[in-house]
Structure 1
Amino acid sequence: MYRVWNFLSAYSLLLVFGALLALAWANIDYDSYHHFVEYPIWDYAPIGHYHDGHRTLTLHYLINDVLMALFFAIAGKEVWEAVALKDGSLRGKKALTPLIATSGGILGPVAVYFGIALLMGGTTFADTSNGWAIPIATDIAFAYLIGRLIFGNGHPAVGFLLLLAIADDAIGLIILAIFYPSGELAPEWLLLSLAAAVIVFFVFNSLPRRMDRGDQSRTRSTWMRTKLGVWPYVIAGCISWYGFMRAGIHPALGLLPIIPAIPHADRAFGIFADAERHLTDLLNTLEHALKSPVEVILFFFGLANAGVLFNAVGDATWLVLAGLLVGKPIGIWFMGWLAAGPMRLGLPQGMKTADLFVLGCVAAIGFTVSLFIASVAFEPGFVQDSAKMGALLSFSAAIMAFVAAKVFKTEKMEGGN
């Protein structure tokens, strides 16, 4: 049973099961599915959708806006370590080629999305233009699974892919915060989030360490860890989340300011590295504790967001798919080639230029974050459902990746983690 759970959680397969259940339920009885997803848990609540002068906490809000904050916190932790810590994967010259390739994985889908929307004419552009960010996302878990199946554990393209995916989603988080507010903007409320992060860092992290200078037993830091544990950061996280909600920025991003405030390891060991399982710093300990609950949350995320009718195929479906299946592979290949060749930044040893296109096909699996952006880019209705259908159908990128690997004779390398 333990092995089964490890396999399910390692590749976010609970998310797939939730999505499949949602699809089946919605197509059997759409009304009961919709009633379940929008079930009002608490009317006149302090948090929730704001409507008619009051807030209502629905099941959909609880999943997408509250619980998914834990998912984005884990992704944000990996991004922050990669950028800020010693040996971080997104620091220095070694990260330049993947980062430049990532820019292609952003610009390519957006250009294809807008270009085809304009060519379609009529009201298509006006109806669908707000969904331009949906095809920029890469689903880290599924891309990692397909990448390992194609390239093998020991191929440098797998690390390149992880680097690209995490940078891709980091940019996606920024776009989500800037371009998709959850309500009327009130940026002054972000001061509450900032204050929570600064206070918890100085009072419960920095100050005890300063007071422990010269004390090998680290008396004060140890007391903080053993007596207070994670609670100061949990409270700060709740305050920060509330600040994001009141600021009109999507509250699922509300835990991100607290991540740098949590005691962490001195150096990064790689994105989702196995070595992190053996680290005992509070940040890695929290990530390990959250991993299983977040997988369950992803099941409910799939259940609450993937329930679209099979006939919900429209212009937005083809735009999202074109952005992912055409724009992303070509964008990653072209910008990766530009960085490796003309810019003379090179590729990791053992990786060839053709691998960039295969890797771009793998990165075209947008699923999780694409579904999330679709749910905030459009109001509930046919356009939103058709955009979600495009995100769900992006799994076809896996087939495209296997075909491309066959055509370009990608060599599988076993070994590594």
Structure 2
Amino acid sequence: MSMYRVWSYVADYSLLLVSGAAIALFWANLSPGSYHALVHFPLWSGGPVGALESHGGHSLRVMTLHFLFNDVLMAFFFAMAAKEVWEAVALRDGSLRGRRALTPLIATVGGMAGPVVVYLLLASALGVLGDVSRGWAIPTATDIAFSYLVGRVVFGARHPAIGFLLLLAIADDAGGLAILAVFYPSGEVAPAWLLLSLAAALGVYFLANALPRRLDRGDQDRPHSTWLRKTLGFWPWALAGAMSWYGFQMAGLHPALGLLPIVPTIPHAEREFGIFAEEERYQTDLLNVIEHALKVPVQFVLFGFGLLNAGVEFSAISEPTWLVLLGLVIGKPLGITLFGWLAAYPLRLGLPEGMAVRDLPVVGCVAAIGFTVALFVASVAFPAGPVQDAAKMGALLSLGSAVIAIAAGRLFGVRKKA
């Protein structure tokens, strides 16, 4: 993969996000009143979509700018992340299938458990555990885009640790999505509403995917599948996605995860080419076509997400900032190194050829960049206020792990493979 592709990916998914976050930081510190007025600007009150707010003794849903980006539009970002996870797990040649994926998967468990242990132990030692315990999942996150870029700088283009890092980051994303769904409901949980999401997923899979293929069996022209694709396009899945999203909102789960049940139902390629693979640009299956169509809109969604979530006043730095930051920069390397070593040697699963144990702590430092998902988890773990702001600052400061990773690469004698 060329360095141009790497920079292209990071520009696509991170440059606008960082720009939005930088503007938010300046704005919130120069004029906090106007910044928060923007974040909570009401777009629609009393409709079926929005955050529940109490007005005059009764509840109604209010769609604010913050809700629009965090709960509605970020669903497309998480759907694209879920697409990579789904392909890696389900498709032929998927990178998370088989024995070769076991060591990075076990290392991922350490990379998620380590930060939680460090976070909770430090919170207990500082005597603030009761105030910040809900933030335990914030430092479990790994930002795939930034980690990938820093990994290339530290290890070089052809080092086997890059593939190891990508597997770990994808699995980390999958774990993070599960944690969000299970531990951070957005309201009072009403699981019966998930039947709507399930019905939407099963309905669109059967009617728009499985049934046309069955009717076309034995006919090379595939008339039913072709008619569906040319006439209806992605619209059946758009309708199913809207139903699933609404089901998640009403169930009390975070609606940004509402498109996840629909992703596996979309017709996809028969094999997986790998995350960021050049070949995916030329795939004509609907899943890749939808991903390509979402690419530019999601860039602006991430800009808005950064703008509406990263506006933290510097005076907000307090204990949660250091808990999140140290959870990432200490817990990630320790967890990944320990569990990676256990998998490679006591469990005899081994490491990729050309990768040594000394590379594991460096991979851990690279994976300690939480940023995007850490910011998102912070926004749902704590109510708006000083604790949330402090935790967000820890997520922002985790970008500094890039410098630590480069230093660790030199300290452990990483041999770059360009």
User: In which range does the TM-score fall when normalised by the shorter chain?
Assistant: over 0.9
- Uncovered stretches (5+) of structure 2, i.e. residues with no partner: none
Contact kept in structure 2, 1:14 and 1:296, CA below 8 Å: yes
1:73 counterpart letter in structure 2: A
Query: Residue 388 of structure 1 corresponds to which residue in structure 2?
Result: 392
| Equivalent residue runs for 1:91-170 within 5 Å | 91-121=97-127, 124-170=128-174
Alpha-carbon offset, residue 5 of structure 1: 9.5
Shift in alpha-carbon separation, 1:7–1:220, aligned structure 2, 3 A: closer
Alpha-carbon offset, residue 343 of structure 1: 1.2
Give the secondary-structure state (helix, strand or coil) at the position aligned to 2:316: coil
Matched, 1:67 2:73: yes
Encode CA deviations 1:355-397: one digit per residue, 9 max, x unaligned: 1111100000000000000000001100000000000000111
Encode CA deviations 1:329-370: one digit per residue, 9 max, x unaligned: 110011111111121111111111111111100000000000
| Equivalent residue runs for 1:255-266 within 5 Å | 255-266=259-270
Give the secondary-structure state (helix, strand or coil) at the position aligned to 1:394: helix
Contact kept in structure 1, 2:10 and 2:145, CA below 8 Å: no
Give the Cα–Cα distance (whole angstroms) in 1 for the partners of residues 173 and 211 of structure 2: 33
Alpha-carbon offset, residue 142 of structure 1: 0.5
Encode CA deviations 1:220-268: one digit per residue, 9 max, x unaligned: 0000111100000001000000000000000000000001111011111
Give the Cα–Cα distance (whole angstroms) in 1 for the partners of residues 415 and 365 of structure 2: 16
Matched, 1:32 2:34: yes
Matched, 1:247 2:290: no
Contact kept in structure 1, 2:9 and 2:145, CA below 8 Å: no
Give the secondary-structure state (helix, strand or coil) at the position aligned to 1:353: coil
1:102 counterpart letter in structure 2: T
Alpha-carbon offset, residue 43 of structure 1: 1.2
1:289 counterpart letter in structure 2: A
Alpha-carbon offset, residue 9 of structure 1: 3.1
Give the secondary-structure state (helix, strand or coil) at the position aligned to 2:413: coil
Contact kept in structure 1, 2:25 and 2:310, CA below 8 Å: yes
Give the Cα–Cα distance (whole angstroms) in 2 for the partners of residues 384 and 374 of structure 1: 6
Shift in alpha-carbon separation, 1:179–1:299, aligned structure 2, 3 A: same
1:364 counterpart letter in structure 2: A
Query: Residue 341 of structure 1 corresponds to which residue in structure 2?
Result: 345
Give the Cα–Cα distance (whole angstroms) in 2 for the partners of residues 164 and 107 of structure 1: 13
Query: Residue 219 of structure 1 corresponds to which residue in structure 2?
Result: 223
Contact kept in structure 2, 1:163 and 1:271, CA below 8 Å: no
Give the Cα–Cα distance (whole angstroms) in 1 for the partners of residues 243 and 198 of structure 2: 10
Alpha-carbon offset, residue 292 of structure 1: 1.5
1:184 counterpart letter in structure 2: E
Alpha-carbon offset, residue 11 of structure 1: 5.1
Aligned equivalent of 2:369, options 365, 372, 378: 365
Give the Cα–Cα distance (whole angstroms) in 2 for the partners of residues 7 and 262 of structure 1: 24
Contact kept in structure 1, 2:12 and 2:296, CA below 8 Å: no
- Uncovered stretches (5+) of structure 1, i.e. residues with no partner: none
Shift in alpha-carbon separation, 1:141–1:8, aligned structure 2, 3 A: closer
Query: Residue 176 of structure 2 corresponds to which residue in structure 1?
Result: 172
Alpha-carbon offset, residue 149 of structure 1: 1.1
Taking only aligned residues, the RMSD between alpha carbons, in angstroms, comes to: 1.4
Aligned residues: 411
Give the secondary-structure state (helix, strand or coil) at the position aligned to 1:56: strand
Contact kept in structure 2, 1:332 and 1:357, CA below 8 Å: yes
Contact kept in structure 2, 1:189 and 1:243, CA below 8 Å: yes
Encode CA deviations 1:245-295: one digit per residue, 9 max, x unaligned: 000000000000001111011111112322211111000111111111111
1:49 counterpart letter in structure 2: A
1:302 counterpart letter in structure 2: G
Give the secondary-structure state (helix, strand or coil) at the position aligned to 2:62: strand
Give the secondary-structure state (helix, strand or coil) at the position aligned to 2:52: strand
Give the secondary-structure state (helix, strand or coil) at the position aligned to 1:138: coil
Give the Cα–Cα distance (whole angstroms) in 2 for the partners of residues 154 and 171 of structure 1: 27
Give the Cα–Cα distance (whole angstroms) in 1 for the partners of residues 13 and 144 of structure 2: 9
Query: Residue 299 of structure 1 corresponds to which residue in structure 2?
Result: 303
Alpha-carbon offset, residue 304 of structure 1: 0.4
1:108 counterpart letter in structure 2: G
Contact kept in structure 1, 2:6 and 2:149, CA below 8 Å: no
Which stretch of structure 1 is more off in the superposition, 38-47 or 246-255? 38-47
Encode CA deviations 1:188-233: one digit per residue, 9 max, x unaligned: 0000000000000000110000000111100000001111000000
